[in-house]
Amino acid sequence: MFIAKAHAFWEELGNLEEGIKTAIKYCRKHDILSEFLEKHSKEVLGMLYAEWNMEDALAYARKESWEDGWEECSKEKDRTTVRNLQAEGSTPEFIQKITGLSLEEINKLKS
């Protein structure tokens, strides 16, 4: 119940720390873990804040990794396309028209 309230207040208030603080106050007032929260509210606030920030950090890291992988995949596809077109005797200008890459990028992707 406490965690659900913390999530709800976080969404309502748009601030994680304020959401947790409000959930602590609400639960103490409504006799939900009130004795525990009275003794340990600071620790609960710190633990939940750290845990949810860690979740956000991990989600961000996963997104960054995915984007890095997508970028690398795109570069490899460009390399393959450039090499295939060169193997067929295409000029750098033709490759530029087909791929939309600059001549500088095409020259970099040759190797």
- Residue matched to tokens 């950090």: 57
Angle between helices 34-87 and 103-110 (to 10 degrees): 90
Q: What is the mean pLDDT of residues 62-84?
A: 81
pLDDT digits (tens, 9 = 90+) for 11-56: 899 888 888 888 888 988 988 887 887 787 778 777 777 766 667 6
Residue 15 DSSP code: -
Identify the pLDDT of residue 101: 85
Who contacts 98 (Cβ-Cβ below 8 Å, separation ≥6)? 81, 85, 90
Return the pLDDT at 57: 59
| Predicted local confidence at residue 94, as pLDDT | 92
